[in-house]
Structure 1
């Protein structure tokens, strides 16, 4: 049953009794207007500093159309098996890097979770350490590891592992913190130690979510492994940058199609696996 609608006389009485509640929120409107004006001014300043030009953009779009025509039809140039081997190397880099990051981040995530380690100093130190690691882009990690271990896919796998260690550590710790504590309380009430509470009360509940996050990052790392190959970390990105440099655009188009098909396939498979994991956890 819906509540009765107040009459105009009642509304007038309320306005007279509580005038502050019926005043327009002018301060909020002014602050919102100032925020929008500030964003517009900042965007305009950034466009001036970055030498943004609509004429150059239109001219560039025309040249982009010319390049697109030169990329048709895509062809392998007799190097199909070489490209397939490079693509498999890229997938290997993404797989090894993601797996290593997940294995390293799994135990660290429990140290960063408040419901596992209540000590605020330890929690703060681990969280800030993860922030430092994930604040460095995977391309920077690739340049660092190339200078440490040399060119090749090993440097690429290490770069992805370092970058994903920070990201997965943060995601895993947040997932652990959102777990319902009733199962862990039951383990503790039955005489279990703290390790038993984590092993039997937290890990089974959070494992499907962690698996879903790892699958998503593996899909993302397939693209990242292509990018870091451009700086010499192995994989198909190395061929991509060489062919772009010599303007072999039909072969570039062939490589791009290979990458698109591979990423689409991984997305379809990992999506099904993620839904199966989350669905199994919900049941």
Structure 2
């Protein structure tokens, strides 16, 4: 039996599904408008930011001079090296504690912001916009706010990381919950389970591996962020990094950078091991 379509059958299919095949005029206009807006933004950035490849080429010589000044990495003294190491562990503690607290506090917010858990549109809208508001403020700004609220030190840094990640985790959790398979929830409901049972046995087992993976990644990412917020007085190794840059101690700067890179690499290695322990090995 031949599966080839006749000209009449092909024309009939095109007529009945013309909107899906060729797209509507509105969709085409929106697509063209979006591409034009992005292209305009790109050209605007090139012109207003004074982008120049020649400036980059000319600046490569200055970059080489900085690299020469930073070699070899040297903390200055053993006492100074121990101070730097202590500040590094403080930075890691800020990132770890802030991330874990944000992950815990964001869990109920993620369920409230998920459409398949809370059907009330007003509650869903308020939850999403609240998370957007918190997430819209950078961690460095939160650090400046918390430094003025609780004073200088690592406690302000931890609060800044926690607040910044709260909005991000809430959004990621809600999207992960909305992407879950409804069959598991229906199965729990079919045997008489209530709403709490549906969440505990139907949704949580599906989203926990995703949540764990996201938390592990954020711990690694926030180790770098904690370095930046330390510059504004929120504790950690960033304070010493800013100090050595201001005093032009470039060998100490390179030593601090190497410490940060080593810490991030170690955390990345450990988080990878933990991630595969939670979600399983890679598919071969």
Q: How far, CA to CA, are the matches of 1:235 and 1:75 in structure 2?
A: 19
How many residues are paired up? 272
1:238 to 2:253 alignment: no
Q: How far, CA to CA, are the matches of 1:261 and 1:61 in structure 2?
A: 26
Task: Using the TM superposition, give the Cα deviation of residue 231 of structure 1 relative to its aligned residue in structure 2, in angstroms.
Answer: 1.1
Q: How far, CA to CA, are the matches of 1:186 and 1:29 in structure 2?
A: 42
Match of 2:83 in 1: 82
Task: Using the TM superposition, give the Cα deviation of residue 251 of structure 1 relative to its aligned residue in structure 2, in angstroms.
Answer: 0.6
Structure 2 counterparts to residues 49-64 of structure 1, below 5 A: 49-64=48-63
Structure 2 counterparts to residues 85-234 of structure 1, below 5 A: 85-234=86-235
Q: How far, CA to CA, are the matches of 2:34 and 2:122 in structure 1?
A: 36
Q: How far, CA to CA, are the matches of 1:32 and 1:272 in structure 2?
A: 42
Please, what TM-score do these two structures have when normalized by structure 2?
A: 0.85
Q: How far, CA to CA, are the matches of 1:150 and 1:252 in structure 2?
A: 26
Task: Using the TM superposition, give the Cα deviation of residue 130 of structure 1 relative to its aligned residue in structure 2, in angstroms.
Answer: 0.5
Task: Using the TM superposition, give the Cα deviation of residue 267 of structure 1 relative to its aligned residue in structure 2, in angstroms.
Answer: 0.7
Task: Using the TM superposition, give the Cα deviation of residue 186 of structure 1 relative to its aligned residue in structure 2, in angstroms.
Answer: 2.2
Match of 1:67 in 2: 66
Q: How far, CA to CA, are the matches of 1:2 and 1:226 in structure 2?
A: 68
Task: Using the TM superposition, give the Cα deviation of residue 41 of structure 1 relative to its aligned residue in structure 2, in angstroms.
Answer: 5.1
Q: Structure 1 unaligned segments of length 5 or more: list them.
A: none
Q: 1:174 to 1:80 in 2, by over 3 A?
A: same
Q: How far, CA to CA, are the matches of 2:83 and 2:221 in structure 1?
A: 23
Deviations along 1:206-262, one digit per CA (max 9) or x if unpaired, are: 212111111111111011001111111110011001101111001100110111111
Task: Using the TM superposition, give the Cα deviation of residue 139 of structure 1 relative to its aligned residue in structure 2, in angstroms.
Answer: 0.7
Task: Using the TM superposition, give the Cα deviation of residue 172 of structure 1 relative to its aligned residue in structure 2, in angstroms.
Answer: 0.8
Q: How far, CA to CA, are the matches of 1:43 and 1:201 in structure 2?
A: 45
What's the Cα RMSD here?
Answer: 3.1
Deviations along 1:47-67, one digit per CA (max 9) or x if unpaired, are: 332233444333322111100
Does the 8 A contact of 1:209 with 1:277 survive in 2? no
Task: Using the TM superposition, give the Cα deviation of residue 37 of structure 1 relative to its aligned residue in structure 2, in angstroms.
Answer: 7.0
Q: Structure 2 unaligned segments of length 5 or more: list them.
A: none
Q: How far, CA to CA, are the matches of 2:147 and 2:119 in structure 1?
A: 39
